[in-house]
């Protein structure tokens, strides 16, 4: 439906742009999503569990570090009994660490799973609020390829957040555990230079901080562009996937038009942008590798070099040296967490930006123009449908009815026509509450749920029975078969319990016929149709109108279309006109709350 000329003309200028959000905004919106999640308690318990496991693991690693001194001293003394005893101690410590490591792995995977569930369910819930997905799709670049943000980006963010979060927590706890150990080990370090003695309290702690600090600073300078490069890559990947899906869904039309060469050219261009984005990432990663790999190799000997002056001066034993080296490595390893994960942090930052900005846009996209007037929706207690001075705003003017005051009573049949570019589809969307920008008032019949029939019907995945009565109480097979026969789809009566992608199995006209069969099975009191009758030939149209006459005899039916199909069925006619003198809508930046459609329209969307 988005490719309809009337719709394109009005939708293109209405490109809402969500203001560039900060890291604080992005973290706040993700925190809000987690706070609203029904599984937040399960996620919280898993997080508390992994904190306890990491603390216990850190205690075990401190004990293991202390084990270094008696073990290596026993080796230096060639003490076989002491050596065997220390092996038993090692087995006990290592056995406990193995159990803790397995438990940490299980909790890690549980957190990833629960975090993805909470985040994706929240995004789906926000996306599927009445009319919101439609408005987001026409709100500019933020609404392009929501499938990637819901599926790939949300899953990737969950994995990165869990991995980086657990790694950072583990590094912090290890740092706290071993800084004290390293400080006490290096408190007695005395340097003898030219007959002078120089004592530096916590010498190895300061050495580790200086060493890791310089490496982190250089890594950030070199790796920071990866945030932008990763975000660009995900956008390009989404465009390539969208192009592939578009080609796959239109293979018949491409083959008939001999358009394979053009399709291939388009796919190759999209692939080229993906490869270009990946080259930029790889180039930045190579530059980052020069820093991280250099520091990695230096780290092999750095702790021994730092402690060697004190060892050669005879102030510590060989076992003490190895214990100091182990503690230095643990402290340095904790401090260089940022260096080791700079690529992952850049990827996480880019993914967070995509997911959080998408959620922010979902919340804010209901209001695209805070300076524009909006159509007023209300309910008429006497059961009428009314249009009072209704004007639907668009880029090239305002769509409105030729009559400023229109009243339609229950059971009336009304044909609404207009010129090809008068904005008939836009008018239909305004009645449905999808397009609220304009002026005037739409009064819906109180207590009634209108049934909206678009030109292109939607069928959920499932059996044909579910497609036909998914929105209402179940009806008998005999009733379904009778209705299918009336619209010329009797052959489908034997497929009621077969699951299929019906939009692929049926032709366009058959899909519309199936939509009208579903319509009469629902028995609505008000029906509003958007050009869905225009494509039928004379015999098919008469069959459909005859069915509507027989099965929806008391329903009010408004048909928005190109011409007067049947004067007997639609005795009343209205005209849609375009006022090109009205000013155009202007795109603006907004940060506002959502405006919900009127109750009857919201209920209709929930049932559709």
pLDDT confidence tier of residue 264, bands split at 50, 70 and 90: confident
Alpha carbon of residue 502 to chain centroid = 27
| pLDDT at 15 > cutoff 70 | no
Half-sphere exposure of 80 (CA within 13 A, CB side): 0
Sign for the pseudo-dihedral over CA of 221, 223, 225, 228: negative
| Of 461, 566, 578, 467, nearest in space to 515 by CA | 467
Euclidean distance between CA atoms 382 and 412, whole angstroms: 15
**pLDDT per residue as tens digits for the range 29-66:** 888 888 888 888 999 999 999 999 999 998 888 888 78
pLDDT of amino acid 517: 92
pTM of the model: 0.62
Res. 17 pLDDT band, cuts 50 70 90:
very low
Burial of 577: CB neighbours in 10 Å, binned 0-12, 13-18, 19+: middle
Higher pLDDT, 366 or 55: 55
What 94-102 contacts at long range (C-beta under 8 Å, 24+ apart), as own/partner pairs, is 94/64, 96/60, 97/57, 97/60, 97/61, 97/64, 100/53, 100/56, 100/57, 100/60, 101/57
Q: How far apart are CA 598 and CA 152, in angstroms?
A: 34
What's the average model confidence in pLDDT over 144-151?
Answer: 74
Query: What does the block give as tokens for 67?
Result: 């084990």
The per-residue pLDDT for 564 is 60
Q: Which residues contact 174 (CB under 8 A, 6 or more apart)?
A: 58, 61, 330, 331, 333, 334
Return the pLDDT at 372.
56
What pLDDT does residue 20 have?
56
Q: Does 396 score more than 90 pLDDT? A: no
CA distances 68 to 183, 316, 513, Å, are 17, 14, 80
* DSSP label of 153: I
Domain 376-579: state its class. alpha beta
Which of the two residues, 189 and 453, has the higher pLDDT score? 453
Choose from 4-18, 297-311, 546-560 the range with maximum mean pLDDT.
546-560
Quickly count: other Cβ atoms within 10 Å of residue 264's Cβ. 12
What single-letter DSSP state applies at residue 152? I
Query: What pLDDT, in 10s, does the model give residues 199-231?
Result: 777 777 787 778 777 877 887 788 778 878 887
Q: What is the pLDDT of residue 600?
A: 42
Mean of pLDDT values over 396-421? 89
Between helices 154-186 and 40-77, what is the axis angle to 10°?
A: 40
pLDDT in tens, 512-531: 999 999 999 988 999 999 98
132, 138, 144: which is closest to 8 by C-alpha? Answer: 138
369 or 476, which is more confident: 476
| Residue 465 · residue 497 · CB < 8 Å | yes
- What confidence score (pLDDT) does residue 474 get? 66
Give pLDDT, residue 587: 44
Structure tokens of 446? 């109180």
Cα(414)–Cα(416) distance, integer angstroms: 6
Alpha-carbon gap, residue 465 to 409, rounded angstroms: 33
Q: Is the dihedral of CA 122, 127, 128, 129 positive or negative?
A: positive
What average pLDDT score do residues 110-121 get? 90
Cβ neighbours of residue 53 under 8 Å, at least 6 residues apart? Answer: 100, 103, 104, 107
Question: What percentage of the chain carries pLDDT values higher than 70?
Answer: 84
């Amino acid at each position: 439906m988005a490719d309809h000329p009337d719709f394109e003309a009005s939708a293109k200028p209405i490109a809402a742009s969500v203001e560039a959000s900060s890291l604080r905004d992005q973290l706040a919106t993700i925190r809000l999503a987690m706070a609203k999640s029904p599984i937040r308690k399960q996620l919280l318990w898993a997080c508390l569990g992994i904190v306890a496991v990491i603390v216990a693991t850190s205690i075990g690693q401190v004990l293991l570090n202390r084990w270094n001194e008696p073990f290596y001293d026993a080796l230096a003394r060639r003490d076989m009994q002491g050596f065997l005893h220390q092996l038993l101690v090692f087995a006990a410590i290592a056995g406990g660490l193995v159990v803790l490591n397995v438990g940490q792995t299980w909790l890690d995977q549980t957190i990833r799973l629960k975090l993805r569930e909470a985040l994706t369910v929240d995004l789906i819930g926000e996306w599927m609020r009445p009319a919101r997905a439609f408005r987001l799709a026409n709100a500019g670049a933020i609404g392009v390829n929501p499938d990637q943000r819901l599926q790939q980006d949300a899953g990737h963010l969950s994995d990165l957040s869990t991995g980086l979060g657990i790694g950072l927590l583990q590094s912090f706890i290890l740092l706290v555990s071993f800084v004290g150990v390293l400080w006490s080990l290096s408190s007695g370090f005395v340097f003898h230079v030219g007959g002078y003695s120089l004592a530096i309290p916590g010498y190895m702690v300061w050495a580790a901080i200086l060493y890791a600090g310089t490496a982190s600073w250089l890594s950030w300078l070199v790796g920071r562009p990866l945030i932008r490069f990763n975000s660009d890559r995900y956008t390009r990947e989404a465009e390539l996937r969208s192009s592939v899906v578009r080609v796959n869904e239109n293979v018949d039309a491409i083959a008939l038009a001999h358009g394979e060469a053009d399709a291939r050219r388009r796919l190759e261009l999209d692939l080229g942008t993906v490869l270009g984005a990946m080259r930029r990432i790889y180039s930045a990663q190579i530059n980052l590798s020069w820093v991280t790999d250099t520091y990695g190799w230096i780290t092999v000997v750095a702790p021994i070099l730092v402690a060697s002056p004190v060892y050669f001066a005879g102030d510590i034993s060989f076992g003490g040296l190895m214990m100091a080296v182990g503690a230095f490595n643990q402290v340095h390893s904790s401090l260089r967490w940022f260096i080791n994960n700079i690529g992952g942090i850049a990827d996480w930052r880019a993914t967070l930006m995509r997911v959080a900005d998408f959620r922010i846009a979902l919340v804010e996209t209901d209001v695209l123009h805070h300076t524009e007037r909006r159509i007023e929706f209300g309910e008429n207690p006497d059961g009428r449908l009314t249009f009072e001075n209704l004007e639907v705003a668009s880029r090239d003017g305002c769509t409105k009815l030729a009559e400023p005051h229109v009243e339609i009573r229950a059971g009336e049949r009304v044909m609404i026509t207009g010129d090809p570019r008068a904005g008939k589809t836009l008018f239909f969307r305004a009645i449905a509450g999808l397009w609220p920008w304009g002026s005037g008032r739409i009064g819906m019949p109180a207590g009634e749920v209108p049934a909206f029939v678009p030109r292109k019907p939607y069928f959920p995945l499932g059996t044909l029975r579910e497609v036909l009565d998914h929105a209402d109480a179940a009806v008998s097979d005999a009733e379904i078969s009778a209705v299918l026969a009336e619209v010329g789809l009797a052959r489908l009566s034997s497929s009621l319990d077969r699951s299929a992608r019906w939009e692929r199995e049926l032709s366009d006209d058959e899909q519309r016929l199936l939509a009208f069969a579903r319509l009469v099975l629902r028995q609505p009191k008000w029906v509003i149709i958007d050009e869905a009758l225009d494509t039928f030939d004379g015999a098919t149209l008469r069959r459909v109108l005859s069915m509507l006459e027989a099965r929806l005899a008391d329903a009010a039916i408004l048909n928005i279309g190109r011409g007067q199909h049947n004067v007997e069925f639609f005795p009343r006619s209205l005209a849609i006109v375009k006022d090109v003198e009205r000013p155009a809508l202007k795109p603006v930046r907004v940060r506002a709350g959502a405006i919900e459609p009127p109750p009857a329209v919201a209920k209709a969307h929930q049932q559709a």
